[in-house]
Each structure stands twice: as structure tokens, then as C-alpha cells.
Amino acid sequence: MVSTKAVVCVFIFAIWVSFAHASDLAIEFTEQEKAYLQTAAPIKMCVDPDWVPFERINNQGQHEGIAADLVQLVTQRVGLKIEIYPVKTWDESLAASRSKHCQLLSFINQTPVRDEWLIYTEPTFYDTNIIVTREEHPFVADLHALKGKSVAIPHGTMIEERIRRDYPNLEVILADSESAASLLVSERKADLMIRSLIVAAYAIKKEGLFNLKIAGQVPEYTNNLRIGVLKDEKILRDILDKGVKTITPQEREAIANKHVLVIAQKGIDYSLVWKILAVLALVLLVSGYWIRKLNALNKKLERLSITDKLTGVFNRVKFDAVLETEIQRSVRFQHPFSVIMLDIDHFKQVNDIHGHQAGDAVLTEIARLLQANTRETDILGRWGGEEFIIICPQTDINGALGLAKNLCRIINEHNFPIVQHKTASFGVTAYQPGDHAESLVARADAALYQAKHNGRNQVKTWPSHE
């Protein structure tokens, strides 16, 4: 049993940690910013009233969700008070912001249209946008390759603006909400939708749309969600920006997990289950059958959402998330790690000469070789097409270079089905302080390009380390 003395000690320690953390978060304001804070009235903020789990206005008129917690964290740290401007739709929020009825928009992507009246803080949250289709739809590697397909999108969003600009080959079907867009796809009224990974995972479970799956990623459409501020409120933007910069990756993760976990638990109505069981025992058998089936579908959905269907290794969506986690771990504990990117040489010739089934066989065999000849702690993913990528935790550039050379030799010496001989080119880089995922992958890609340029079937590092 835990003693009272132990509880008191833990409580005192927690208070000490909170004060120590608060001292680390001391924000220095300019004289102009201090004057603004001393006289500032409560700030009016517009929000999306129905964008769960990111944000919503609940039945009591309160702002809740990931965005609400993040904005509250920022405003508490800078000493501002926020009032929610009441709206019923996202379109009303945009109109109210543009008409200057509210000074802030809580959680938005920057777009050219919004740039007409807004300036922005640094991102408060990052989230990948993914492609959601019905279960029978094949993997989508490139949206440009889709002809005569329709995409369901909530209107007034960043995605709507960019899809119309970047993918004229797609027919846009506008929906009133994220949920409505999901139903359009589920009911075969649209072929696909593009939405946040967090929102999609929540919605598929909550709404029971188990005929949907994650069929691809749109990395260039990653949500960099910011606080939008009216253009004539530059001092307010600068003050908020200083608060945003105090948010740690751990705080973002804790806030996201809190809302995803709470929401996921709301899907089971236990009172209804017990009432049904009390009425008729036969319902227990029927319920048991469907629960098992839904659990199996959930597991299948989870597996499909993080793995490449052909090779069984992590897909791009999962790999991006793992890479971000590894960067955060390296920042916190000062652990080294490296990234290896490889590309199968002259892979197009395999498909052209032997057919796509032979190409699939080569990809599957390459994945098997990589899994068999890397450590259990190494993380393997398919980056796209004939490219694979490996994260090597606790490994400096020399260790990763040695591993890449060994893999290059193993592939070169392997007897592949149908094509017999195949080679691969490798690019290697190591994490450097200040790196983000894009810069790290870009260096590995540059090293891979150098290996290709120098004749293929070899390993290069960037920067050069040979």
C-alpha cells in the first residue's frame, strides 16, 4: 500500500517540476507587446464548430478538442483571454473572420485565398493528409494518374483550393462536412476523399464505415495548422507566436492522444448492450458474432493503414510518423540515428520486359532481403515505387554506411526469380541537430542520386563520408 508520506513526496516533486518547467518557459516581450497585453480586452476567436477531434463547439457553447487545448496553452502562457465567436458552420467562421468580427481563426492551414486577410503564427500542430477510398479500390500512388475519378471534399477548406489547382483531372464533389464527405465515398457517390489522418481514423471507427480504407498519402498536403490573425493585428500575432514556440512535441502528442483516446471510447453504448442481453439470450450470440467480425475488420484496417499491401513493410504514412518520433527521441536523449534510402536499378526494364507480375516479385524479394539482413531495431518502409527507406536507431553515419554496403552486396549477389540478377543504389545520411523529416530525407535522396549518377550498384553518403 502506498504511504501518505510517499504521496506527499510525489506531490511536492510534481510541484517542483512544474515550477522548473515554468521557469524554462519565461517569454520575453518587447515594450510594445507588454503595452498591448496590459490593455488588451478578451480576444474574439472563430473556430470550426464541427471538426472532431480537432475542434468543435459543444452543446454548452464551449470550444473543445485538440485545437482548443493548444490555443488555451498558448494564451495562458502569453497572458491573453479568449472569447469564442458563436457560429454554426465553418463557412460562417470564415465569413466572420473576413468581416473582422473575430481577430483569430483557431486552427487553419495557410492558403493564398486566406492570405488576403490573414497573417499566421508558426504551426501549432502537424498532421498528414491521406487518401480514403472504399475497400476494393487499389492503392493510389499518384493522383495525377486517376482519370474520371471524383473526390469528395468539405467546401471552404485548404484541400478544396489545392485539389482544384493541382489536380484538374479529378471531379470535385463538395460536401457540407467531413462526415458527409465520408458518406459520399462509402455510398459510392464519390470515388475517394482526402482528409486528415487523425480525423479519418476517428471517423471510420465512430461512424462504422468499415468499407473504407487508407489507400495512399498526399505528403505535399500535410496540415501545418496555425493560428490565423487579422492582418492589422501584427503585434497580437507576434505575441501568440512566442507562446506557440514554447509548445513541446511531448505536449502536442499528449493533447492529441487525450482526445483520440477519449473519443474512441465513446463509440460503445454499454447500457444498450446490457438491455439487449437482458431481453433475449439469443442476442448475445448474434452480438458476439458481430463484435468478433468488427474486431477483425478493425485489425485489418489498422494493418492496411500502416503497411504496404505488396511487400508487407511499413507504408509511407506509417514511416513518416515513425521518422518524426525518432527525431523527437534524438532531440530529447541526444541519440544518433541514420537513414538509408535505396532504389532498385533499372526497375522499369523488369516491368517492360517481363511484365508487372515479375516486377512485383522483385519488389517482394527485395523487401524480404532487407528484412532478413537488418536488425530488429531497424525500421523498414517502402517509400514509393521501387524505393525503400530504412531508419537505423542508435547508429551513426559509419554504422549506417557499413550496413548499406552489406545490403548492396547481398542484393547484387542474390538470384532473383525470373530476372535472376538485380542491383540497387543506396544513399545514406545521419541526423543532425536542427533536422526535420524533410531535410533528412532530402539528404538521403541527394546521396542516392549521386550513387545513381556515378554508375549505380553502389553506396554514397551526403555529405560525403567515404
List, by residue number, the catalytic residues.
Answer: 386
Q: Which amino acid type is present at position 434?
A: G
Return d(Cα 38, Cα 348) in angstroms, integer: 65
Closest CA to 98 of 119, 121, 114: 114
Residue with cell 491573453: 80
User: Is the separation of the CB atoms in 154 and 180 below 8 Å?
Assistant: yes
Q: What is the distance of C-alpha 209 from the center of its chain?
A: 20
> CA-to-CA distance for 410 and 117, rounded, in angstroms?
57
Amino acid identity, position 247? I
**β-pair type (55-57, 50-51):** antiparallel
Report the 10 Å Cβ neighbour count for 387.
18
Question: Are 103 and 119 contacting, i.e. CB atoms less than 8 angstroms apart?
Answer: no
Per-residue H/E/C for the chain = CCCHHHHHHHHHHHHHHHHHHHHHCCCCCCHHHHHHHHHCCCEEEECCCEECCCEEECCCCCEECHHHHHHHHHHHHHCCCEEECCCCCHHHHHHHHHCCCCCEEEEECCCCCHHHCEEECCCCEEECEEEEEECCCCCCCCHHHCCCCEEEEECCCHHHHHHHHHCCCCEEEEECCHHHHHHHHHCCCCCEEEEEHHHHHHHHHHCCCCCEEEEEECHHHCEEEEEEEECCCHHHHHHHHHHHCCCCHHHHHHHHHHHHHHHHHCCCCHHHHHHHHHHCHHHHHHHHHHHHHHHHHHHHHHHHHHECCCCCCECHHHHHHHHHHHHHHHHHHCCCEEEEEEEECCHHHHHHHHCHHHHHHHHHHHHHHHHHCCCCCCEEEEEECCEEEEEEECCCHHHHHHHHHHHHHHHHHCCECCCECCCEEEEEEECCCCCCHHHHHHHHHHHHHHHHHCCCCCEEECCCCC
> Cell numbers at residue 232, please?
492589422
